[in-house]
Amino acid sequence: MNLQLPPLGPIMPEIFMTSLALILLMADLFIKKKEVLAGASILGVLVVAYTLIGSSGSTFGGMFISDGYSSFFKAIFFINLILSVLISIKYIRIERVNFGEYYSLIALSTLGMMIMASAADLIVLYLGLELMALSTYILAGFIRYDIKSNEAALKYFLLGAFSSAFLLYGISLIYGLTGTTSIKAIASFISEKGLVGNPALSLSMTLFVVAFGFKIAAVPFHMWAPDAYEGAPTSITAFMSVGPKAAGFAVLGRVFMIAFASIKFEWTFLLIPLSILSMAIGNIVALAQSNIKRMLAYSSIAHAGYALIGVIAANTDGVASMMNYLMIYAFMNIGAFAVVIMLRTEGFKGENITDYEGLAKTHPFLSALMLIFMFSLTGIPPTAGFIGKLYVFMSAINAGYTWLVLVAVVFSVISAYFYLRIVMYMYMREPKIEVGTSKSGTLGVALGVTAVMVLAIGVYPKCLVELARAALSGF
């Protein structure tokens, strides 16, 4: 038996990430100041990001692949991690959950996402997905003494387990049908054996839609999202509204565009109602929210709907626009959550939309930032959100889905009502209560970076767009 070690180059970032998570866990025992761990995790991720540059190719018998596509998503995950950690440091002290394992769990969850993005085999995909999900369940329930946080974790956990059972059933079906779990091999088996139209194949594909739809919080598999987002610690809400969603899209893109390439017609047929429903429910129900975290949760459902349009276009342009969208979404959404966190002070939640009344008067600078993020989430030029939407819509129009884009534009207009409501509260209302802010350097850095990126991408989108296109070469 030949026990040769497979080449480790492509998987180097994951190995480093694992070490980082374990080191953080160990260091937690010795280090009293948890802020050091936060710093260490950011530095560690930068190292991991550095190893990413050299890694490309596939390993473990083709089960694991590192290519432009996965690297782009990993970049999103790293940005997500760094920004989330930056906004966490002060916040988890206020919530009195300043424990070291917080950071190592975030690292582990990110590791799961990285494995998902790189998975070229359904087994690896499943492992990455579970690693990500299990870590996130714990993080969602991290405020142990808070019933809302417990409830968020429970709901997320139960429904998440439910959805991964569907995923597994889908995997087992496709395994039985094709005798393999490799994404590429499945694709060639389907086209060679002429399995198109086989009901078992369609059934299995549908189960994949269910499981991935759950991860990206698409309607009707979104029900967990509002509750989990509201109950989870705000920093984790930011983290899980971007990371798992992007990871979900990463596997969605890879599995559907490659493994199920020959039944494109069938899965676009399923994704279209998902996308429309997500935009509809997300944007409409968000109108009726009074808690800003919950409102942003519905907004995140709606944004999943927009990004899905890119996948529905089902060509490289579409996938590239979806990747752009997620990158942009990472910045604007974490930025918005950073503002929400800013309002959380000792003894004051600051989660009600009415808490934003007259904020421009007391905190003009913070309000201006919130204005930028809200404009971007609405999709008003020259912010990044506009660019994201524009490219997704253009790709869909080029793929012949003009009517779908019209629907999306209508829902975009509806979304302006609740985003701009915040802006209006800030600028055109009198402050009713004294609202304090918890200032901290790291939070300031996160706010600055996100705001600058949102504007920079809005004004000069070329770099990002070309990066996404280049990432897809050889996809």
Partner 1 sequence: MVLSTAVFTIGVFGFLSRKNIIIIFMSIELMLNAVNINLISLSHYLQDLRGQILAFFVIAVAAAEAAIGLAIVIALFRNKATAHVDEIHEMKG
Partner 2 sequence: MKYYLLIPFLPLAAFVINILFGRGLIRDKAHWISCLTIIGSFIASIITGIDVINGKIINEDLYTWIVAGKFSVSVGFLIDPLTAVMLFVVTGVGSLIFIYSIGYMHGDKGYYRFFSYLSLFIFFMLMLIMSNNFIQLYLGWEGVGLCSYFLIGFWYEKKAAADAGKKAFITNRFGDFGFALGVFMIFLTFGSVHYIPVFSEVKNIVGQTVNILGYEVNLITLIALLLFCGAVGKSAQIPLHVWLPDAMEGPTPVSALIHAATMVTAGVFMVARCNAIFNLSQVAMNVVAIVGGVTSLFAATIAVAQNDIKRVIAYSTLSHLGMMFLACGVGAYAAGVFHLYTHAFFKALLFLAAGSVIHAVGHNDIQRMGGLRKYMPITYLTMFVAALSAGGIPGLAGFFSKDEIIWSAFASGSLVGKFVWVLVTAVAFFTPFYSFRMIFLAFHGKFRGTHHEEHHLHESPPVMTIPLIFLALGAIGVGWVGIPEILGGGAHFAEFLKPVLGHPEFHGTHAQEWGIMGLSTTIAISGIIIAAIFYLMKTYIPIKLAQQLSPIYRLLFNKYYVDELYHHILIRPILWVSTRFIEGITDAKIIEGIVNGVPKTIGRFAVILRKIQSGVTQHYAIFMAAGVFILVALILW
Binding site residues, partner 2, CB under 8 A: 154-155, 158-159, 162-163, 166, 199, 202-203, 205-207, 209-210, 213-214, 220-221, 223-224, 226-227, 266, 269-270, 273, 281, 284-289, 364-365, 368, 381-382, 387, 390-391, 394-395, 397-398, 414, 417, 420-421, 424, 427-428, 459-462, 465
Q: Is 266 in the site for partner 1 (CB under 8 A)?
A: no
Please identify, using beta-carbon distances, which residue of 10 and 244 lies nearer to partner 2.
244
CA torsion 29-243-130-141 (nearest 10°) is: 60
Please identify, using beta-carbon distances, which residue of 105 and 263 lies nearer to partner 2.
263
Cα dihedral sign, 242-244-247-252: negative
Tell me how far, at minimum, the Cβ of 293 lies from partner 1, in Å: 10
Residue 8 binds: one of partner 2, partner 1, none (C-beta under 5 to 8 A by kind): none
Residue 398 binds: one of partner 1, partner 2, none (C-beta under 5 to 8 A by kind): partner 2
CA distance 63 to 37: 33
Tell me how far, at minimum, the Cβ of 35 lies from partner 2, in Å: 25
Residue with tokens 């534009």: 409
Q: Is 161 in the site for partner 1 (CB under 8 A)?
A: yes
How far is CA 52 from its chain centroid? 20
Residue 130 binds: one of partner 1, partner 2, none (C-beta under 5 to 8 A by kind): partner 1
Q: Is 282 in the site for partner 1 (CB under 8 A)?
A: no
CB-based contact 415:378 (threshold 8 Å): yes
Considering only residues 157, 260, 325, 331, which one is a binding residue for partner 1 as defined by CB under 8 A?
157
Selection from 399, 195, 415 nearest residue 283 by Cα: 415
CA distance 247 to 269: 22
CA-based angle 218:276:164, to the nearest 5? Answer: 20
Residue 382 binds: one of partner 1, partner 2, none (C-beta under 5 to 8 A by kind): partner 2
In the DSSP assignment, the letter for residue 429 is S
Please identify, using beta-carbon distances, which residue of 63 and 359 lies nearer to partner 2.
359
Give the other-Cβ count within 10 Å of 201's Cβ.
21
Q: Is 287 in the site for partner 1 (CB under 8 A)?
A: no
In the DSSP assignment, the letter for residue 354 is G
| 118-126, 344-352, 409-417, 419-427 -> range binding partner 1 (CB under 8 A) | 118-126
Residue 102 binds: one of partner 1, partner 2, none (C-beta under 5 to 8 A by kind): none
**Rounded alpha-carbon distances, angstroms, from residue 87 to 251, 438, 457:** 27, 11, 22
Using CB under 8 A, which residues numbered 57 to 96 contact partner 1? none
Please identify, using beta-carbon distances, which residue of 145 and 365 lies nearer to partner 1.
145
CA distance 20 to 41: 7
| 108-116, 124-132, 261-269, 368-376 -> range binding partner 1 (CB under 8 A) | 124-132
CA distance 88 to 108: 16
Tell me how far, at minimum, the Cβ of 334 lies from partner 2, in Å: 21
How far is CA 30 from its chain centroid? 33
Q: Where are the alpha helices (DSSP H) in 379-440?
A: 384-398, 402-428
CB-based contact 361:431 (threshold 8 Å): yes
Q: Which residue type occupies 362?
A: T
Binding footprint of partner 1 on the chain (CB under 8 A)? 122-123, 126-127, 130, 134, 137-138, 141, 144-148, 150-155, 157-158, 161-162, 165, 168-169, 171-173, 175-176, 179-181, 226-227, 230-231, 288-289, 294
